[in-house]
Amino acid sequence: MTSGRATGPAGDDLVGLLAAELDKGGILTGADVSARSSDPFSHVPLGSRALLRPRSTNELARILEICHRHHQPVVVHGGLTGVAGGAAAGTAELVVSLERMNRIIEIDPAGATMTVEAGVPIEAVQAAAAAQGLFYPIDLGSKGSATVGGTIATNAGGNRVLRWGMTRQNVLGLEAVLADGTVVDLMNRFLKNNTGYDLKQLFIGSEGTLGVVCKAVLKLVPAPSTQQVALVSLDSYSDVLDLLARARRVQQLSAFEVMWQDYYALVSGDPARRLVDPDPAFFVLIEAMGSDELNDNAAFAKLLETAFDDGIVVDAVVASSTKQAEEIWRVREGSEILVREMGPFVSFDISVDIRSANEFVGAVRDALASTFGEYRSVAFGHLGDSNIHIGVHVGPDTRERTHDIEACVYGVLRRFGGALTAEHGIGSAKREFLPDHIPPEALAMMRKVHGALNPDWTINPNVLFEH
Amino acid sequence: MTSGRATGPAGDDLVGLLAAELDKGGILTGADVSARSSDPFSHVPLGSRALLRPRSTNELARILEICHRHHQPVVVHGGLTGVAGGAAAGTAELVVSLERMNRIIEIDPAGATMTVEAGVPIEAVQAAAAAQGLFYPIDLGSKGSATVGGTIATNAGGNRVLRWGMTRQNVLGLEAVLADGTVVDLMNRFLKNNTGYDLKQLFIGSEGTLGVVCKAVLKLVPAPSTQQVALVSLDSYSDVLDLLARARRVQQLSAFEVMWQDYYALVSGDPARRLVDPDPAFFVLIEAMGSDELNDNAAFAKLLETAFDDGIVVDAVVASSTKQAEEIWRVREGSEILVREMGPFVSFDISVDIRSANEFVGAVRDALASTFGEYRSVAFGHLGDSNIHIGVHVGPDTRERTHDIEACVYGVLRRFGGALTAEHGIGSAKREFLPDHIPPEALAMMRKVHGALNPDWTINPNVLFEH
């Protein structure tokens, strides 16, 4: 299927050839490269011989064509916030960063689209949309760094998928450069377009292994003008499911985030985050975003009141200002507390049937206890999307025991028929587990598609597949 | 890229081999085949030697494996409502119909999904969802016949794409059989799942050329309980755009259908459809669907009142009952009047930039006038989705002049950068025009993907590509 992975390190000749295609700032070498890392959390210096920074699709295409001709593998860098090792690059690879392709090209208010280069950060997209009364719904903790290109390559999710979908559902068109330098213009702007295969889908979520996304047409929606946020506590998982079913009937529902007690107990150690009593078993952040202050507030209040009256909800705080809404969201986004209080931990990003999510969390705890004896774990996530994050600490040597912890948790996951990764992607970190979590026929089909478009493994050779 | 199209007609031996895999009703031959047509509007008898009706994925897989081994091309039949010649089959092909794979397998109210076999009609999906207080949003005039498999293969759209997206946005997972009989299980049920390539996307909208969809997991939404429908008339296209911008701010907006005067004049010849005076230049059907009778009615009424006060809307009727809502929808769905009053016509299904849609319609009229002299045309469509349908009649020989009419309209479309097909697909009817409407690099990439998965052209060889 494949002609083998290209591995030749870049000789001086090749670096010279590439430099000739770029301006002075277009190629970094030596200390300018090793000052960078492929993972901002690890700080391991980048070992690549050169980092290329094209300013245009044409420059990118010429670079890839030259690398392809010389069997030189290339790893593409966006905002480096994927936390799955998708940007990992060694001495054998050159790095291409799209950081200088960062222009917002056009906003079309009538069609509700924005056309951008791949290096634009998500936060800049959101700001430009807001200036036109529009909204780009993809919302990530890392939005200041995460780029359009990176979020497309990984099909990023985030907090509001329940309402507006993943990145895939918010991209109308794109332009990509194939492994051999061919530019493919798929810059569709229409909601409806069945003119041939929807090829852009191949570049979304394939982690850069089929082509490099360099431009995109994003779908915008009218900006919500109201926001309702509440944090509630509940005693049982069946109450959580009941609340979710009721919340789904609120048309403006934009987030339904669940925190298990182990998570909230840890985070509410910070007094600013102790918004409700930490004793109940479950905590849920509910958000709605609409356009009619009076009616939206009323619908949201009615949801909470009837849930309270029916004995589903134990306690609740409702934000009465944007500041309070942010305070509630900070409870859910307490990762710096996890880092500080749990010490090193291994994190998981899985999807599992909503009906059995709590049973799954219990089974993971049992498996951790029987495998490791002492352990600590927290569970939280986007339950409305089936997506749960779990953090696991088994002692000071947690990092070194990563593989064993993963094998333990993924073993339980397989029993529950869950998904190995909900939103972060496989990257290089999970590729050894991929064959156990999709059918062999699907993996074979992935290899066929990969073989048709990137047969020499010249772009992003380190992710998804084991060689 | 391809090893040439397989063309061998089925010998008696092959038909016998296939019959041995199926039960008594599983294979039709002779008059049972010629009593059918690949296009219910043309009534041309089907010329295939046999029509196969598997009852399970395993039967389908065995059939395709045998056909593949014997280089026997196969055309797949769903509900036959695609109107793009996608089901066209000649004497060289066998037909496989999924009509007996029509079970609803499971509805999961917590996850809001429905698992079905490909032969289930859309109307049956809608009814089963409604029985659980849920809603499958794909809404087509042909929903009684159109099947899940056919709508996935063609990525069907319809009236409510503006709110809920195309079929692609409403499918979470599927099972497909590849050309060589390999079964690929992609039955994802999660909103978030980035475990490898999202291979299901390759089967959606590829018109059966990459595999045969046999099961699907559909995404359901809470059933709306309120419906507001109005028909309004407007004097200018800028007023239409203004109304669309205002309507988009109504969160419950589910349809924004525009009819040009030529369409409404024809349809309102039926007194039951003459709901407003037919003189203004534009007519718009607006629909909202929500869950809060009082507030939704108020928001809808406010939209219309302010549009009226601001002089945007000339006249309006608002439905005050489900029956009246249906009457208004019948204005928009007047195709039987077009057939009766316009005689033979050639129909178009294009997308074009919303801002220039009226200019496009004018340019099409000019081109038709200068090419054909006498002509008649009507324009209408899902303007909120950029999708316009145009019907063109140039005289009693309209059918015979189809190619010239298409060349004329598509010539204008290219100038406007529009899409050759918005929702019906390329089928066999438009494949000669495809290379003029997508970049050569995209067509080459389509052929690469096709070559990887259906290299011998054994499934659906007659659509999308010219050989």
Q: Say whether residue B386 is in contact with chain A using an 8 A CB cutoff.
A: yes
Q: Is residue A467 part of a domain?
A: no
Mean pLDDT of A430-443: 97
Q: How far is A110 from chain B (nearest CA, A)?
A: 7
Residues 6+ apart with CB under 8 A from B177: B57, B60, B61, B64, B183, B184, B211, B212, B214
Nearest CA in chain A to B152: A194
Q: Do A437 and B161 touch (CB under 8 A)?
A: no
Residue A249's closest chain B neighbor by CA? B222
Instruction: Using an 8 Å CB-CB cutoff, list chain B residues near A452.
Output: 448-449, 451-452
Residues in contact with B123: Cβ distance below 8 Å, sequence separation at least 6, in sequence order: B143, B144
Q: How many CB pairs under 8 A join A and B?
A: 247
Tokens of B124: 């049956």
How many whole angstroms separate alpha carbon A136 and alpha carbon A170? 8
Q: What angle do CA B231, A292, B164 make, to 5 degrees?
A: 55
Enumerate helices (H) and strands (E) in chain B, giving the number of each: 16, 18
Alpha carbon of B193: minimum distance to chain A alpha carbons (Å): 4
Q: At what angle do helices B357-372 and B237-248 cross, to 10 degrees?
A: 140
- φ/ψ region of A108 (left if φ > 0, alpha if ψ in -120 to 50, else beta) reads beta
Task: Please state the ipTM of this predicted complex.
Answer: 0.95
User: Chain B residue with minimal CA distance to A210?
Assistant: B197
Residue B184 lies in a domain: yes
Closest partner CB to A248 (pick from B222, B245, B355):
B222
∠B351-B352-B357 over CA atoms, to 5°?
125
CB contact under 8 A, A449 and B445: no
From B130, B136, B222, select the one nearest A244 (Cα to Cα). B222
Q: Do A426 and B194 touch (CB under 8 A)?
A: yes
Name the token pair of B445.
């990439």
Give chain B positions within 8 Å (CB) of A464.
Answer: 196-197
CB contact under 8 A, A353 and B111: yes
In a domain, A153, yes or no: yes
Q: Check if the beta carbon of residue A27 is closer than 8 Å to that of residue A54.
A: no
Reported as a single tens digit per residue, the pLDDT across B346-360 is 999 999 999 999 999
- What is the C-alpha to C-alpha distance for residues B57 and A231, in angstroms, rounded to an integer? 46
Are B254 and B320 in the same domain?
yes
Is B445 in Cβ contact with A453 (below 8 Å)? yes
Q: Classify residue A458: in a domain, yes or no.
A: no
Query: Which chain B residue has its CA at the smallest distance from A425's CA?
Result: B194
d(CA A453, CA A431): 20
pLDDT of residue B2: 38
B210 and B277 within one domain? no
The residue out of B317, B335, B353 marking a domain boundary is B335
Chain A 398-457, residues with CB within 8 Å of chain B CB atoms = 419-426, 434, 437-439, 441-446, 448-449, 451-453
* A201–B198 CB contact, under 8 Å: yes
* Contact at CB, A169 and B169, closer than 8 angstroms: yes
Same domain assignment for residues A288 and A248? yes
The residue ranges of DSSP E strands in A261-411, in sequence order, are 282-290, 315-318, 346-351, 376-382, 387-393
Last residue of a domain, one of B288, B304, B335: B335
> What would you measure as the largest C-alpha separation in chain B, in angstroms?
75
**Whether residue B7 has pLDDT greater than 50:** no
- B267-291 per-position pLDDT tens digit: 999 999 999 999 999 999 999 999 8
- A359 lies in the same domain as A253: no
The answer to the question of residue A333 being in a domain is no
The residues that bridge with B147 in the sheet, in sequence order, are B121
pLDDT digits (tens, 9 = 90+) for A136-193: 999 998 999 999 999 999 999 988 999 999 999 999 999 999 999 999 999 999 999 9
pLDDT band at residue B9 using 50, 70 and 90 as cut-offs: low
Chain A residues close to B291, C-beta within 8 Å: 249, 251
A77 touches chain B (CB under 8 A): no
Optimal mutation site among A113, A193, A348, interface B, most CBs of chain B within 10 A: A193
Residue A10 confidence (pLDDT) above 70: no
Residue with tokens 């050169």: A50
Q: Could B437 and A195 be called an inter-chain contact, meaning their C-beta atoms sit closer than 8 Å?
A: yes
- Using a CB–CB cutoff of 8 Å, tell me whether B281 touches chain A: no
Q: Residue B430 and residue B428: Cα distance in Å, rounded?
A: 6
User: In which residue are the tokens 């008649």 written?
Assistant: B376
Does residue A137 sit in the same domain as residue A110?
A: yes
Kindly tell me the sign of the dihedral angle through the C-alpha atoms of B197, B199, B204, B208.
positive
State how far residue B228 is from chain A, nearest Cα, in angstroms. Answer: 16
Least confident of A246-250, B160-164, B165-169: A246-250
Give the three-state DSSP class for B290.
strand
B429 found inside a domain = no
**Residue A366 is encoded by which pair of tokens?**
């049992």
In a domain, A179, yes or no: yes
Measured in angstroms, the CA of A12 and the nearest CA of chain B are apart by 32
Per-residue b or e along A8-21, where b marks 16 or more CB atoms closer than 10 Å to that residue's CB: eebeeebbebbeeb
Is there a contact between B110 and A241 if contact means CB atoms under 8 Å apart?
A: yes
**B192–A423 CB contact, under 8 Å:** yes
Judge if B108 and B218 occupy the same domain: yes
Position of tokens 């599927």? Answer: B174
Indicate if B128 and B198 belong to the same structural domain: yes
A166, A197, A441: residue with CB nearest B185: A441
pLDDT in tens, A287-339: 999 988 888 899 999 999 999 999 999 999 999 999 999 999 999 988 889 88
Flag if B201 and A199 touch (Cβ within 8 Å): no
Rounded mean pLDDT of B406-417? Answer: 97
**Count of the separate structural domains present in chain A:** 4
In the sheet that holds B376-382, the strands lie side by side as B315-318, B226-234, B282-290, B253-260, B376-382, B387-393, B346-351
What gap in Å lies between CA A428 and CA A450, rounded to an integer?
A: 16
Q: Token digits for B41?
A: 């509007």
Cβ pair A195:B421 closer than 8 A: yes
Higher pLDDT, A409 or A222: A409
Non-local CB neighbours of A25 within 8 Å, separated by 6+ positions: A53, A100
Q: Check CB contact of A13 with chain B, cutoff 8 Å.
A: no
Q: Quick check: B449 and A202 CB within 8 A?
A: yes
**Residue A430: is it exposed, middle or buried by C-beta count within 10 angstroms (0-12/13-18/19+)?**
buried
The answer to whether the Cβ–Cβ distance between B191 and A385 falls below 8 Å is: yes
C-alpha A69/C-alpha A179 separation (Å) is 10
Q: In this complex, do A194 and B423 lie within 8 Å of one another by their Cβ atoms? A: yes
Contact residues, chain A, for B109 at CB < 8 Å: 245
Q: What is the pLDDT of residues A327-336, one digit of tens each?
A: 999 999 888 8
Alpha-carbon distance A32 to nearest alpha carbon in chain B (angstroms) = 33
Residue B353 contacts A, CB cutoff 8 Å: yes
Whether B306 has its CB under 8 Å from any CB of chain A: the answer is no
Model confidence over B207-250: pLDDT tens digits? Answer: 999 999 999 999 999 999 999 999 999 999 999 999 999 998 88
Among B291, B354, B419, select the one facing A110 at the smallest CB separation.
B354
Kind plus residue range of the DSSP H or E element containing A328: helix A322-332
Q: From CA A97, how far away is CA B358, in angstroms rounded?
A: 42
Neighboring chain A residues of B451 at a CB cutoff of 8 Å: 452
pLDDT over 70 percentage in chain B: 98
Is residue A91 domain-shared with residue A131, that is, in the same domain? no
End-to-end CA distance of chain A: 12
A316 occurs within a structural domain? yes
User: What is the distance between the alpha carbons of residues A190 and A172, in angstroms, rounded to a whole number?
Assistant: 7
B217 lies in the same domain as B108: yes
CB A461 within 8 A of CB A5: yes
- Residues B111, B177: one domain? yes
Q: Identify the burial level of A271 via C-beta atoms within 10 angstroms of its C-beta, where 0-12 means exposed, 13-18 middle and 19 or more buried.
A: exposed
Q: Which residues of A touch B153 (CB under 8 A)?
A: none
Across B108-131, average pLDDT: 95
Rounded Cα distance, B354 and B348, in Å: 16
- The sign one gets for the Cα dihedral B89, B94, B99, B101 is negative
**pLDDT score recorded for residue A6:** 46
What's at B200, amino acid-wise?
A: K
**Helix B57-69 and helix B12-19, axial crossing angle in degrees, nearest 10:** 160
pLDDT above 90 covers a percentage of chain B that reads 88
> What average pLDDT score do residues A221-250 get?
95
In a mutational test of the A interface, the residue from B115, B185, B192 whose CB has the highest number of chain A CBs within 10 Å is B192
> Which CATH number characterizes residue B403's domain?
3.30.70.2740
CATH of residue B311: 3.30.70.2190
Angle at CA of residue B262, ends B261 and B265, nearest 5°: 75
Nearest to A279 by CA among A289, A287, A268: A268
B80-100: average pLDDT: 95
Of B110, B251, B425, the CB nearest to A355: B110
Q: Tell which B residues from 168 to 197 touch A, by Cβ distance under 8 Å.
A: 168-169, 178, 182-186, 188-197
B293-344: pLDDT as tens digits: 888 899 999 999 999 999 999 999 999 999 999 999 999 988 889 889 998 9
**Same domain for A92 and A109?**
no
The DSSP output letter for B357 is: H
Can you read off the two tokens belonging to residue A142? 């890392």
Query: What domain range is B294 assigned to?
Result: 226-335
Q: Calculate how close chain A gets to B422, using CA atoms only, in Å.
A: 4
Q: How far, in Å, CA of A297 to CA of B363, rounded?
A: 48
B427: nearest CA partner in chain A: A196
Strand A74-77's sheet: what is its strand order?
Answer: A27-29, A50-52, A94-97, A74-77
Contacts of A135 in chain B (CB under 8 A): none
Pair (A45, A132) in one structural domain: no
Return the structure tokens found at B274: 């003459």
Which among B173, B203, B222 is the end of a domain?
B222
In one letter, which amino acid is A71?
H
| C-alpha neighbours within 13 Å on the C-beta side of residue B44 | 12
Predicted confidence at residue B10, as pLDDT, reads: 60
Check which CATH number belongs to the domain holding A28 and give it. 3.30.43.10
